[in-house]
Amino acid sequence: MALLEVRGLTKRFLGVTAVDRVDLTVEPGELVSLIGPNGSGKTTLFNCVTGYLGADGGRVLVRGRDLTNAPPHRVARLGVARTFQQVSVFPRLTALENLLVFLQQHQEESVLARLVRAPGVRRLEAAAIERARRLLDLVGLDAKAGLPAGSLSYGQRKLLAFAGALMPDPDLLLLDEPAAAVNPTMINQMKEHILGLHRQGKTVLLVEHNMDVVMDISQRVVVLDHGQKIAEGTPEAIRRDPRVIEAYFGR
């Protein structure tokens, strides 16, 4: 069964069809990229899949389960993690707390157990702290654990947001432009992180403008233009596809 299946998804904004009957399937363990010129509907598609926008038509299925128009927290709860194009952190929580908050809601304890800090909750918390420290280590932010996330640099916040998405060990990871507006060293770092996840068998769907990154790491590329899917295939095939070249460079 496909991990993510998008069927005929449509989203309109005041008569403009931002996403137009798009079909998209991601199999477990795949690394798929979604590309297209600015305004082609990539982020809108992401937002429809993760519950941030209501779809006007079509369906979104995760492991066969219908999640069309489910609210964001439900989508997340079912193992779909995402990052945002604009770096998004909780500025007044520390870097460590930023990661902890991404895991805790996946562990079902009652409000009362949390209020009185029941032993079971304390154990979960201790394990979560350990995992968070390992992830901070992975993205090179271990020294910043105790600082408010708002005080970190743009690139550091981007890495923190990435680590946050990894906290609950999601089945499907949707990354919205992880390489945008960061320096070349960090782009390489990000690339390595994503490839590392792929090697661990994680499923990743990527929106990215940086063609070097996309062509380097993707197994499959899906191209959107004016909200429609115009091509799909391996990076080599996409590079030579006349429709793609036309969409990017015009005729």
Give contact residues for another protein (rule: CB under 8 A): 50-52, 71-73, 76-77, 81-82, 84, 88-93, 97, 100-102, 104-106, 109, 111, 114-117, 121, 125, 164-165, 168
Which residues 6+ apart lie within 8 Å of 160 measured at CB?
89, 95, 98, 99, 139, 141, 149, 152
Q: How far is the CB of 122 from another protein (least distance, A)?
A: 9
CB of 100 to another protein, least distance (A): 6
The structure tokens listed for 126 are: 């201790």
Q: Would you say 23 or 169 has its CB closer to another protein?
A: 169
Plot region of 31 (φ>0 → left; ψ -120 to 50 → alpha; else → beta): beta
Calculate the dihedral angle through the C-alpha atoms of 123, 126, 132, 135, rounding to the nearest 10 degrees. Answer: -90
234 φ, ψ to 5°? -70, 160
To another protein, the closest distance from the beta carbon of 220 in angstroms equals 25
**β-bridge partners, 222:** 34, 232
Instruction: Report the nearest approach of another protein to the CB of residue 104 (Å).
Output: 5
122 vs 243 by CB, closer to another protein? 122
Instruction: Look up residue 157 and give its two tokens.
Output: 């916040």
Minimal distance, residue 159 CB to another protein, in Å: 15
Smallest gap from Cβ 243 to another protein, in A, equals 33
Of the pair 141, 214, the CB lying nearest another protein is at 141
DSSP string, 50-98: TTSS--SEEEEEETTEE-TT--HHHHHHTTEEE--SS----TTSBHHHH
Closest CA to 150 of 75, 94, 206, 77: 94
* Closer by beta carbon to another protein, 28 or else 90: 90
The whole-angstrom separation of Cα 75 and Cα 223 is: 24
Gyration radius of the chain's alpha carbons: 19
* Least distance (Å) between residue 175 CB and another protein: 12
Q: What angle do CA 244, 250, 251 make, to 5 degrees?
A: 105
Strands 4-13 and 16-26, sheet pairing: antiparallel
Our CB check for another protein shows the closer of 53 and 179 to be: 53
Beta carbon nearer to another protein, 65 or 73: 73
- Give the residue with the Cβ less far from another protein, 77 or 239: 77
